[in-house]
Each structure stands twice: as structure tokens, then as C-alpha cells.
Structure 1
Amino acid sequence: MLGNMNQSVDPCENFYEYACGNWKKAELVPIEARNDSFLHAIQKRIDTYVLGFLQNATESELQAYNTSSAERKAKQFYGSCIKMKSNLTAGYRSLLEYQDDRYRAQRPNETMDWIYINFMSPFDMYPLLPLKVHYSTPTRKFHILLSVPRKVLGSVDAATLKNMTRDFQIAEGDQQKHFMDEFHNLTQFERNLTDLVVARNETEQLSLGGFLVRHKQDRLNWTRYFEMAFNGTQQEHWQVLNVVDGVGPLVHFLEHTKLDMLRAYVRWRVLLKFYAIWTQDSTDKAQVERACRAHVESYYNFALLPWFIANVFDSQRRADILSVAKDIKETFYDLLDRYSWLDDETRSEAKTKLLSMDVLVGYSDELRHRSLIDEVYSDINMTGNWYEDLMVLERNRARIRLKSVDKALIPLLMPTRTVNAYYADFLNLAFITIGMAQWPFYHKEFPPVLKYAGIGNIIGHEMAHGFDSYCYQYNYDGKKVNWWSAGSLRNFKERFRCLESQYNKFILMGVQTNGTLTSGDNIADNVGTRMAYYAYKRRTGDKAWDLKPLRSLKFSNKQLFFLKFAQTWCSGRDSASKLKRLKTDVHAYEEFRVTGVLSNMPEFSEAFKCELGTEMNPLKKCVVW
């Protein structure tokens, strides 16, 4: 903490610089992290740790695993990725051969037409008349989404096309001319395809049975379309979301296009999908390793969890963080009684929403058991050929997706190894990842004040999102309904617009902060920090504020709370990165996340004896909750 600080700065003038001014030079900050943020520095260390686990895959170790082990398959996939990345020609040829074989393997008694070709790819790619299995947050189920064809080949630039001929070792001359001619012909086909259908102004929502009745006069045989998509397993009660406004012209066009042209288009769309995956790195060894790790985490996310949980997140740590969350939630609940700007009816609704809010930390218990995780990946076997393995995994992902229709599942919104957290409005759920619960941000043996100011502040932030300038529209059950009285809602909007106006005045290198863009997270920052502060006070009492729990540090608990909070947002990014994020990020720039929050807290000014009128203790303060 001392190493990151610039104590030559007056904390009452710029507390961010006081707390973080030495970040780029601090000896204990890894060199590769000094141009990044504090939390991203932790993420880099976790990524390196996961990479080491994947690289520790000697033949003898792989033999020690049973053949159905998900961890073994993940390590095999990583190893084959490292070996195969440099030769994209092998992937190109494998993919073409696989698609040719699938095209020839026509189902018995099946008509070869455009509908058949639309669904000939097993890689979740149905581009002639697109179908997706779509997660609906209002219903919390997966539904069928019908959408319009989109331009993909038309967005490929000349440089990318040239790189493809190089990567696939397509010889100059007739071979390369055929490659280019086919691409340009298919680009014209795609232009015609996408011009023949438009999207509805309002999405049509029906059961599949109702959709078939309503559209029985369409030129398209929708029954056959869905049978091809789901191999005859579709159910009449499934929900269909239809964005397409009339398919007659499109179907007429497809019926009069040569099947070889349609097949070539599907093949190219699949090729571009895989090419984007294959080329997510360069030939640099470190970048290839990072890309292969990312691929493993994408396809084998659950496979790594038992090992990760066992090594970096024991049950005591989880229980400790949940106890902090419990204190913050109870504090927030109690403080709702003090807000005179809420009427009793709205206050009751707010309390119900808060009580109903789930707070999850790290993982669900079943993810600790390797036998259950192995079962998840039981249908997958790795071959040692990365390109073939990637096709296996993409087929499996698409197969699971198609089987998810009408299932009431909660999708994974963020890998639990990520150093982050989120609030899901449609679930009324706050989730704190394992990645957040790592040194030096959190430790089980930290003095309580550092836990509440660190991980507690993040927990409070995510809880507060349930009551921010967007999520206030959702009720206790994650439904978008109005639970506010007119008067309370008017008061709420006045309070958060005070924050918007305040953050609009922050200027970085001549560029003004957009307080409206960052409104939701400004509320969460301010409220989360206040709730964490009062939760610590509620647990320890006022006497604890004056204690100095860390040897060799002159700071009291009250001062340490604000110092720990501020250092969560230490960053050494360059000016260009700062300005880009200032214009596009829904979070305020790190310095303003600190100074904005603390300038609204009289408790901070009291801790550091800031006189009224200083930068950190302005006359006007904004408090939402």
C-alpha cells in the first residue's frame, strides 16, 4: 500500500494521486502490470497460473488421468493448439474435407434443396434463412429466433482475403484465381440474399404451433424447415421469436439458385467463422500461448474449475466473503428506513427487492466435483489434431445449443476466473467471481477494514446496481415492472441527476466526462462504498475507527478504509487509452471513480481533516441511496 502512494500530494486536493501516484514505479508492482490497472494486474497473474497448469502436461501426467477426465482433455486440447497454430493450411483442408463429406452424406429419402443446405453445417451456421437458439431474459428460457440474413462476405476487406490465400497456401495462378472468383461471386450472391428480406418493426412472438398456423400460407414449408433444424425433435409449445417480415421473395430467389452456389456460400460462411478463431494470435510464442489458453477457457471452462477452486479458493474464503456480503445487505436494508424521500409503499418494495437479491460468490457446490464435470465432457474426445478437435468442440457446442430450447437455464455470464463481478437485473442476482477474491485485493487474514473496503466495496457496488438509473425498473423477481410511486420516482431521478451533473464537470486532458453514460456505475460506486463503510461501522462500532491495525503504518482504520478503496482503482494506462475509455466506457475514469465517490462522503473529509471547500470536500455533495 505504501509503495503505490505519493505522499507528497495533499490528500484533500487529489486523493487518487495520493493513493496511487506511485503505481507505475512501485517495486512490488510487476513490470508488465505497471501500464495497466490494479485489477487487471491480478487477472494477468491468474492467467499465468492457469497457463502453467495447462503447460504441465507431460506424457506421464496425461497417462495418469483416466481417459474420461475433463482436465486431461483440456490439456490435450491446449497441447495440440500450441503445435498446430503455425499451419493454417491443415485446418483449411480438414474443414473443406469435412464439409464435402457431410454434403455427400445425404439423409435417406431426403430432398436436396436450399432448406437441406441451410442446415447442412453442424457448427451453428444457418445463413440462408438464419435460425438461432436465443436466451430470453424475461422468460429465463431459450427460444427459437428467426432473423434476416446478414452481410459477412461483403465485410471482408482485401487485406484479409490476401492473408487467407497466404495462410492457406493457395498457389498463385489458376488456383488463386478460382479462390478469388468464387469469393467475389458469392459476395454478389450475398448482396442479393440480404436485399430480399427486411426485419419487422416489432418482433413476432408465438408458440411454434401457433407460428405454423399463422404462416401456413407462406411460400416456405415451415414444418420441414423446423424438422431439418431440430432433426424432428421440435415441440409445438416452443416459443418462436420472428424478426423476418415476409419470406416470399427470399424463398423464390433460393429456389431458383443453383444448389452448388448455395452450398459454396454455406461453406464460405463456416470457413470465415473458423478462420476468425484460427487467427486470434500472431506467430509470437507468448501470444500463441495466451491465445491457446483463451481457447481452452472458452471450450473447457468448467473442466478447469475443480482444480482452480481447490488451489485458490477454499470454502473458508468463500464463507468469509459471504459473511461480509451479509453484513452489507443488512446494512443497506436498515438504511432504507432512513430515506425520507421514499414513501412507505416504495420503501417496502425496495426492501423486498433487496431481501430477494441473491449474492453468489465464486461457484456453485457441484462445480467442485470432478466426476460431475467429467460427465459434462463425456461425449467429447480429443484427437491430437487441433483443427479436428476444434470442429468436435464447435459441433458439441452447437448440439447443446439446439437441445436447449425451452430449457430454464441460467447462462454463464462471466467465467469465474475473471477478476470481475456483475449484477444480473433479470435474475436480481449479484455475482462475485473467484478472480476477485485474490491477493493483494483480498486475503482471509486481512484486518476486517481491508475486507470491507476491498471485496466489500465490490459487493456493495453490485448490490447497488439493483437500484441504479437503469435497473430501478426491475422488481424483486427480475421483471421489468414499475414498483415506484410517482413521488418517490421523481425524488430518485433528482438525486441521480445530481450525480450526473457532478461527473459531467470532471475533465481529463481537456475532455469532459459523460455523466449520463456512466450514470449507472457512478451510482453503484457511490452507494457501494457507502454501504461497505457503514457495514464495517455496524460490525465493529465507532471505537474501531481510531485503531491502527497495520504495523509500521500510521493510518487508522477509518483512513485505511478509504486508502484501500482508492487503491482498487490504481492504473498506469497511457493517455490514449484513458481518452478512449473516457468516451466509450460505462465506468468513469479510475481517478474520477475515486475522487467522485470520496468527495460525496463527509466521513472521508473527517478522516483526513479536509476543510470544507477543498477539492475533496466540496460544498455540494450528491447522495442517491
Structure 2
Amino acid sequence: MKYEVDTENNAEKRASLVSPGNGMSGCLVLVVLLLSAAIVAMSATMYVFTSARLNEVTLPPLQEDGHTCQSDECIISAARIITSLDPSADPCHDFYQFACGGWIENNPIPDGSSQKNQFQVLNDDLTYKIKHTLETPDTTLTLKPLKQARSMYKTCMDEETMEKMGVEPMLKVLRAIGLTDLPLDHEKRLNETDDSELAHWQSVIANSERMLGYSILFSLHVGEHPMNTSKFVIQINQGNLGFPEKVSSKESEEEAKVIEVYIAHYIDLLVKRVPGAKVNTSRVAHEVLQFSKQLRNLTVENENKKDLLSQLEEITFADLQNITDSNLNLSISDPNRLNWTEYVNFVFDGLNVTLDFDSELIIVKNTEYFQKLSELLQNTPAETIERYIWWRVFSALAPHTMKEFREARKKFWQATTGIIEDLPKWKVCAYKVNEIFGMAIGYEYIKKHFNEEAKQKALEMVNDIHKAFEDMVKEVDWMDEATKNITIQKINAVMPFIGFPDWMLIPGAMEKYYEGIEVVDGEWFASHMKIVEVYHNTTLKKLNTKPDRNIFVAFPTTVNAFYSPQMNSITFPAGILHPPFYGLGLESLNYGAIGAIIGHEFTHGFDNDGRQFDLDGNLKEWWTNKTLTEYKSRVQCIVDQYSNYYFEPLGKNYTVNGKITQGENIADNGGLREALRAYEILKTRQAQQHWGRKSAPDPEPYLPGFANFSHKQLFFLGYANMWCSNETPSSLKESLKSDVHSPGRFRVLGTLSNMKEFAEAWNCSAGTRMNPVKKCVLW
């Protein structure tokens, strides 16, 4: 499980600076000169518009030694923040509009996209660097995994060859996992076809899981034991439907008609390419959708799930068989009976893993789902189940063949979700290849765009935030001493991973990491299947080994941050350690941006889910009842607060779901408080180093054009600026419905309105929107 800062990958390119070491010197000088001139002009204009507002704010006097930062980073940060501001907005009424109004106006949503935000802007810049790496010719010194990545990228980009090959590569995959070329007609069953090699549907979904990484009906994987992370265990959970949530629910009849037409049309595209084929695609589409909706009604929603521990059962496969066999009128040989022995034997076939079905303990999540699933399968014709499985695999593979399938899928997603998906081919291929060879590509990236100094500075910030969080826990009055002491132990046990894994720099380590991976030049499907099978089998074979807790959970090229409750670790890849999150010239901006993200990840260890794991990552209840009651009361305050937020243009029917977003909102609120406390720790240390005493004039310079702003005000601007975003109404509606993150606007308004330090910095009167009398404070 990974908790993530909100980000998507579908923004278009925004102009970016040339990276250091690549002919940057002359370009950067020109850019800095232009920005400097722009800042002078814009700051004068800004002063005119903001003077009335800032006269209402009590600003600290300039220190006698105060000076303006003239570094390239400061000038660039100043230009970005000035152009992001809406000086006409009242920071005490709507700080998001004040900090981001200009950004929203200056950053329209690109054609072919449904949103644009700061994460996407940085991700676009990074994706162009990945593109450059993948399009650079090999040399004799190129690592083998990077050569393989470039080969796959070249194959992915070769649309002409893909069009000539048509659907045959996909049909080979369908056959390989035991499916027919087309959905079966209504007179034949899958295991009654003339081809004796085609197997029962349970072996097909096992092959799909193992060979393609696609989970159908349910998922099986090997992972750390939730209650004992010193060992691996088989874990079984409910699957996903393969459709957007809203078109699978019974309330969405209009969307259901759209998806039914889409399924039929998608199958028709294949049928016309198979000589002599005849399929009643409308009937197949209706069956698939109806079965999907029935599955949807069985699933246990995240919002309605109880605490994590109560969702899990540690049982044997024999126990699970008894659960799924209960209340059924099926014989042992019935084709619709879930046969766990048969399924697991297919998944682990040839891996030399010994399983005792009567004694091997497994973790099953939401056993009620499997009991209901078994009942549904009993009452569903086997042909319907088989057509549904065929559709799930076919619809996942088809977009990787011919352009007409990709165009049809794009129109479907736009029609059902309102979200536009229209990425250029090179970007799609860069994403796909990076998902497989992210470590090899990341190795090239860190050599050119990341350095040890950045890593060490980030580690210093992590240590400051660690200390700040520990101090804050000591000060809270709602925790008893026993829980407080264990909480501090867990904070001290958090393992930070920054930039990239150290092993990447060891000669030969990269080749070992990708050992067993094969790439067939010019054949995407063949290569993809081989790679997925190697990865999946490697994971399955971990069953009898011990987990390695020294794991970097993301590729260095990731623009995101993570907390792992099982490992009690926080990870900040090199990809996110760039502006507008890091390297901003002033520590007030750095701590307000990446510092808040670091604090966010620390706090995930103590949100509504993370708090259920102990310092070793084991799922257990370690809070006393008294402290837990106090905790839940304060969390409910946050749930209620965010549930009242809505976008005025959409109306009050589209509110934030405070329940499903509570974990991220807890992390946002706690993370920013920790970052501010950490910044104060830094300032004390700097004063001691600069003046020889803890209380002294602030040695940190001012931002160009922001001499009238205190560093605390810049801290809050740094935080707000990273959540500036632009979304279409459809994208907002979809986000409000299912995203575990609140929209950027409310990540700013909700968090800052809970902080008295913000109100003090901006001199916001009590009772104003940004300084409400009631504040929700947990940490």
C-alpha cells in the first residue's frame, strides 16, 4: 500500500529551463536577465494592486541586515510566484485565489487534456528528459537494460509496423492464456471447443494474472504479512471491474447505454478483421455489462469498510473453499464452482513452490465478497462468465494494436467520464517503457539532473521535520503517555529514502536488477508478456523468503512521494525534488513546499489507516481506548469540515467527500504544521550559526519583488503555489466522486484555515474565512 501526493500524468508540455550541464550557462543567463526585468515591472504593478490589502496586514519591519537574494533560483521563484498571484483577492478571505488566481489565468488547460497542475508541469518536463534518454543512440558503454528500454520504445513508436501486423499479435496472446479469438457464440462453452488446449475459465483468469498481470474477479499476490511483516504471505482480495465506477453502478442507466454501445462497437472492430467471423456483438455487450453491474453490487466500497484489521482473515485455502462452497447446490465438478486448488495450482505452476492447501495460512480481505461471488457464479451461465473474461482481456490488449482501437477507447472515456485522454504517441510510449525500465532510465536521469548536494539537503529537511513531529506529539494533550511513547518510537523508526536507491551506483547492480528480462525487437506483445511473467513469477517466488525492508518503492523519475505502512518508510524520488517543490532559492519556500510534502508523508503513518500499523509495519491496535476516542473525535472534525466544501460553479451537490479524503486531509494538515515547526528549528540553527545566539536578526535574504513579505508569508505562499491547478467541470466532478485527495483549492483553504500561525502571519481577523473561530487540529 502506498499513500501518494495527488498527481496525474496527462498534462501537456510547458516551457522549461535547460538542465544544468547541458549547455545551460548561456541560456540561463539570458533567462535570468529577462526574469529580473520582468520582476521589476511586475513587482511595481503588484505593489499598486496589493498596497491596500497589505496595509491591512501587519508586516514585520525589514531587518537592518536584510538583503535581496539574487541567485538564479530566487529570481525564477519570484517570477513564478508573482505571475501566480491575484493581487486583487483578499488573502484572508480566499488565499487560494490570492496565491493561484494568476496561475489559473496564465495556464489554460491544454487541448486534449482535462486538467493542468504543478505536478503535471514538472512531470511533463521530466517526461521530455525521459524521451531524450530513450531516443539517444546506444554506445558501447550503454547498460543492457537501457538498450532494452530503447528497443521497446522504438517498437512502441513504430505505428506503421503495428498497423501492418494488425490484431494478430493480440490474438496470439488471447490463445496463449486459453481464450478464443472472438467471444464465444451462444452454442459453445469455452471448455467445449474443438481446441483441446483451451482450458476452463478458472485457468484462464489464473493465466491472465500470471502472464499479463490482469486480475479478473479477484486478485492474488504475494506480499508482506499484514500482521507480521517479517514474512511473506499469499493475499487474496476482490478485483476491479475494468469500467469507470459511475458506469458500473445501478444509478447510471444513461451511462450504461453508452458503455453497451461501446462494447459492441469495440468487438465489431475486431470481428471485421477476422475472416468469416459472425458474432452477435450487441448481445455479448449486454451480457458483459449486466454481469459487470452484478459484480459491482458485490464489492465492498472503501468508504464503507471498517478498520483494516477487521477486513482481514487469516485462514487456509480449505477454509476459503468452505466459505465459497457454503449455501451452494454445486457438485465438486461443476464448472461454475470456484475451485481454489485448481486456481492456485495454475498460478504457481512451474515455480517450485510447495503449498499445503489444508495448512498454508493465507490472508483474505473481505471474505463476504467471495461468498457473494460464489453465489453469483452459481446463478450465472458459464458462457456469460467466459464472455466477460474474454472482454476484460481483449479490451485491455486491443489499444496496444491498431489506432482505431485507441481512438474508440478515447471517445468512450470522454463520453462516460468527461475526461479527455489525448496524449501524443511518444508520451504514451515513454510512460509505458518507464513503467518497466524505470530504474534503468532513472539511472541516466540522476546522472544528469540530480546531485548528492540536493539529496543531503533534503535529508537535512527530513531530520528537521522528524524532530518537529516528535516535539508536536510530546505537546498534544489528548494522548495518554503510553500511546504517546509508542507514537514517538514509531516516528523514530521511520526510514527515509531520498532521490534514488544507493545500489544503483554499484557496477553490475542494474544488470542484476533486470536479470531474466527479455525483449524481442519489433514485438511489443511478446516482450511485454515475457517481462510481466518474469516480474510476476519473481513476486510469487518470494513466498518462502524474508522481506527486504530496505526497499525504494518508486522509480527515481517519479514526480510523487510515498509512505509505506508495511515498511514504515517515506520515499521522495529525485523526480519531485525540483521546482516548484524544491530548489526554490529560499528555505521559507522550500519548507513550505517540499517540507509540507515530507511532513505529509510522515503524517500518513498516523492517519486513519496508517495509525493501525505499529513501528514494524504490523497491523495491530496499539492505541488505548481513551486516546483512540479522542483521536476519532478530532478526525471527525476534519471529515465534517471538508464535507462542507464545494465548487460554486458546480453547485452544492458536488461537495468534497470528507470520508474518503480524510487520510489525505489529515496528512495535509499535520504535514504543514510539521513543516512550519521544522522551519522554525532551521531558523534557530541558522541564527546560532550566523550570530552565535538563538535569538538574532534573520540572516535569510528576501525574495526579489517581495521585500514587504515576511518569510512566514512566503512559507505559506510556497505551500499554496504547489497546489495551483486548472480543471474542466467534468474532471472536477470525477475527482470529487472518487479521488482520495481533495482538489487543490481545498487542500489550501482547508489546511491554512486550521492554522492560527497562518492567521497571525497575514493578520486575518477572527471570524474571517481563513481564520474561523472553530479550527480542526489533530497534531
TM-score category of the 2 structures, normalised to the smaller one: 0.7 to 0.9
Query: Equivalents in 1 of 2:168, 2:683: separation in Å?
Result: 66
Asked if the contact 2:260–2:285 (Cα under 8 Å) also holds between the matched residues in 1, the reply is no
Query: Equivalents in 1 of 2:125, 2:732: separation in Å?
Result: 23
Asked if the contact 1:306–1:370 (Cα under 8 Å) also holds between the matched residues in 2, the reply is no
Q: Which moved more, 1:237-246 or 1:506-515?
A: 237-246
1:520 paired to 2:663 = yes
Query: Equivalents in 1 of 2:423, 2:661: separation in Å?
Result: 35
Q: Which residue of the partner structure matches residue 577 of structure 1? A: 731
Which ranges in structure 1 are unaligned for 5 or more consecutive residues? 105-109
Residue 22 of structure 1 aligns to a residue whose secondary structure is: helix
Query: Equivalents in 2 of 1:398, 1:326: separation in Å?
Result: 36
Q: Which residue of the partner structure matches residue 54 of structure 2? A: none
Q: Structure 1 residue aligned with 2:138, among 62, 80, 101? A: 62
Mapping for residues 388-407 of structure 1, pairs under 5 Å = 388-407=526-545
Asked if the contact 1:507–1:513 (Cα under 8 Å) also holds between the matched residues in 2, the reply is yes
- Give the aligned residue type for 1:395: E
Q: Which residue of the partner structure matches residue 211 of structure 2? A: 123
Q: Which moved more, 1:446-455 or 1:78-87?
A: 78-87
Residue 132 of structure 1 aligns to a residue whose secondary structure is: strand
Residue 223 of structure 2 aligns to a residue whose secondary structure is: strand
Q: Which residue of the partner structure matches residue 569 of structure 2? A: 429
Asked if the contact 2:470–2:488 (Cα under 8 Å) also holds between the matched residues in 1, the reply is yes
Q: Deviations over 1:393-437 (max 9, x none)?
A: 333334334433344367875544232212222332222222221
Query: Equivalents in 2 of 1:350, 1:176: separation in Å?
Result: 64
Q: Which residue of the partner structure matches residue 480 of structure 1? A: 619
Query: Equivalents in 1 of 2:592, 2:375: separation in Å?
Result: 61
Q: Structure 2 residue aligned with 1:135, among 223, 227, 230? A: 223
Aligned-residue offset at 1:472: 2.4
Q: Which residue of the partner structure matches residue 532 of structure 1? A: 675
Asked if the contact 2:458–2:498 (Cα under 8 Å) also holds between the matched residues in 1, the reply is yes
Q: Which moved more, 1:117-126 or 1:552-561?
A: 117-126
Aligned-residue offset at 1:271: 3.9
Aligned-residue offset at 1:536: 1.1
Query: Equivalents in 1 of 2:733, 2:198: separation in Å?
Result: 54
Kindly tell me: are residues 165 and 406 of structure 1, through their superposed partners in 2, closer, same or farther at Cα, counting changes over 3 Å?
farther
Aligned-residue offset at 1:301: 2.2
1:347 paired to 2:501 = no
Q: Structure 2 residue aligned with 1:314, among 451, 475, 478? A: 451
Query: Equivalents in 2 of 1:297, 1:112: separation in Å?
Result: 34
Kindly tell me: are residues 338 and 157 of structure 1, through their superposed partners in 2, closer, same or farther at Cα, counting changes over 3 Å?
same
Kindly tell me: are residues 114 and 149 of structure 1, through their superposed partners in 2, closer, same or farther at Cα, counting changes over 3 Å?
farther
Aligned-residue offset at 1:248: 11
Asked if the contact 1:342–1:488 (Cα under 8 Å) also holds between the matched residues in 2, the reply is yes
Residue 72 of structure 1 aligns to a residue whose secondary structure is: helix
Q: Which residue of the partner structure matches residue 57 of structure 2? A: none
1:42 paired to 2:179 = no
Asked if the contact 2:152–2:519 (Cα under 8 Å) also holds between the matched residues in 1, the reply is no
Kindly tell me: are residues 142 and 85 of structure 1, through their superposed partners in 2, closer, same or farther at Cα, counting changes over 3 Å?
farther
Q: Which moved more, 1:305-314 or 1:464-473?
A: 464-473
Aligned-residue offset at 1:72: 0.8
Asked if the contact 1:125–1:269 (Cα under 8 Å) also holds between the matched residues in 2, the reply is no
Query: Equivalents in 1 of 2:738, 2:422: separation in Å?
Result: 32
Which ranges in structure 2 are unaligned for 5 or more consecutive residues? 1-80, 180-195, 249-255, 301-309, 325-330, 334-338, 411-420, 685-694
Asked if the contact 2:203–2:342 (Cα under 8 Å) also holds between the matched residues in 1, the reply is no
Q: Which structure exhibits the higher relative contact order, with contacts defined as CA atoms closer than 8 Å and separated by 6 or more residues?
A: 2
Query: Equivalents in 2 of 1:584, 1:257: separation in Å?
Result: 32
TM-score by length of 1: 0.80
Query: Equivalents in 1 of 2:132, 2:88: separation in Å?
Result: 40
Q: Which residue of the partner structure matches residue 560 of structure 2? A: 420
Q: Structure 2 residue aligned with 1:335, among 441, 462, 472? A: 472
Q: Which residue of the partner structure matches residue 107 of structure 1? A: none
Q: Which moved more, 1:445-454 or 1:239-248?
A: 239-248
Query: Equivalents in 1 of 2:510, 2:660: separation in Å?
Result: 40
Aligned-residue offset at 1:500: 3.0
Aligned-residue offset at 1:324: 0.2
Q: Which residue of the partner structure matches residue 68 of structure 2? A: none
1:79 paired to 2:154 = yes
Aligned-residue offset at 1:74: 0.4
Asked if the contact 1:89–1:169 (Cα under 8 Å) also holds between the matched residues in 2, the reply is no
Q: Deviations over 1:85-128 (max 9, x none)?
A: 77457253234346668989xxxxx9997499656776258999
Query: Equivalents in 1 of 2:525, 2:311: separation in Å?
Result: 41
1:600 paired to 2:754 = yes
Kindly tell me: are residues 165 and 419 of structure 1, through their superposed partners in 2, closer, same or farther at Cα, counting changes over 3 Å?
same
Q: Which moved more, 1:587-596 or 1:1-10?
A: 587-596
Q: Deviations over 1:506-562 (max 9, x none)?
A: 342132444333322222222111111111112213656695422332222122111
Asked if the contact 2:752–2:770 (Cα under 8 Å) also holds between the matched residues in 1, the reply is yes
1:495 paired to 2:495 = no
Q: Structure 1 residue aligned with 2:702, among 531, 538, 549? A: 549
1:381 paired to 2:522 = no
Query: Equivalents in 2 of 1:463, 1:247: separation in Å?
Result: 38
Aligned-residue offset at 1:308: 1.7
Query: Equivalents in 1 of 2:609, 2:586: separation in Å?
Result: 35
Q: Deviations over 1:38-60 (max 9, x none)?
A: 2221112212221222233xxxx
Kindly tell me: are residues 323 and 281 of structure 1, through their superposed partners in 2, closer, same or farther at Cα, counting changes over 3 Å?
farther
Aligned-residue offset at 1:150: 9.7
Residue 424 of structure 2 aligns to a residue whose secondary structure is: helix
Q: Which residue of the partner structure matches residue 469 of structure 1? A: 608
1:587 paired to 2:724 = no
Aligned-residue offset at 1:73: 0.6
Kindly tell me: are residues 387 and 213 of structure 1, through their superposed partners in 2, closer, same or farther at Cα, counting changes over 3 Å?
closer
1:94 paired to 2:232 = no
Residue 604 of structure 1 aligns to a residue whose secondary structure is: helix
Q: Which residue of the partner structure matches residue 160 of structure 1? A: 263
1:458 paired to 2:597 = yes
Kindly tell me: are residues 375 and 481 of structure 1, through their superposed partners in 2, closer, same or farther at Cα, counting changes over 3 Å?
closer
Kindly tell me: are residues 340 and 101 of structure 1, through their superposed partners in 2, closer, same or farther at Cα, counting changes over 3 Å?
closer
Q: Which residue of the partner structure matches residue 22 of structure 1? A: 102
Query: Equivalents in 2 of 1:619, 1:169: separation in Å?
Result: 66
Query: Equivalents in 2 of 1:151, 1:506: separation in Å?
Result: 30
Asked if the contact 1:309–1:368 (Cα under 8 Å) also holds between the matched residues in 2, the reply is no
Q: Which residue of the partner structure matches residue 252 of structure 2? A: none
Kindly tell me: are residues 31 and 125 of structure 1, through their superposed partners in 2, closer, same or farther at Cα, counting changes over 3 Å?
closer
Kindly tell me: are residues 13 and 227 of structure 1, through their superposed partners in 2, closer, same or farther at Cα, counting changes over 3 Å?
closer
Aligned-residue offset at 1:463: 0.9
- Give the aligned residue type for 1:523: I
Residue 466 of structure 2 aligns to a residue whose secondary structure is: helix
Aligned-residue offset at 1:321: 0.5
Query: Equivalents in 2 of 1:203, 1:607: separation in Å?
Result: 46
Query: Equivalents in 2 of 1:539, 1:321: separation in Å?
Result: 13
Query: Equivalents in 2 of 1:169, 1:89: separation in Å?
Result: 15
Tell me how many residue pairs correspond in the alignment. 603
Aligned identity (percent) is 25
Q: Which residue of the partner structure matches residue 357 of structure 1? A: 494
Kindly tell me: are residues 563 and 34 of structure 1, through their superposed partners in 2, closer, same or farther at Cα, counting changes over 3 Å?
farther
Asked if the contact 2:470–2:491 (Cα under 8 Å) also holds between the matched residues in 1, the reply is yes
Kindly tell me: are residues 129 and 288 of structure 1, through their superposed partners in 2, closer, same or farther at Cα, counting changes over 3 Å?
closer
Kindly tell me: are residues 469 and 286 of structure 1, through their superposed partners in 2, closer, same or farther at Cα, counting changes over 3 Å?
closer
Aligned-residue offset at 1:373: 1.9
Aligned-residue offset at 1:455: 0.8
CA RMSD of aligned residues (A): 4.7
Residue 341 of structure 1 aligns to a residue whose secondary structure is: coil
Q: Structure 2 residue aligned with 1:558, among 712, 733, 738? A: 712
Kindly tell me: are residues 264 and 482 of structure 1, through their superposed partners in 2, closer, same or farther at Cα, counting changes over 3 Å?
closer
Residue 461 of structure 2 aligns to a residue whose secondary structure is: helix
Residue 474 of structure 2 aligns to a residue whose secondary structure is: helix
- Give the aligned residue type for 1:72: K
Query: Equivalents in 1 of 2:772, 2:128: separation in Å?
Result: 43
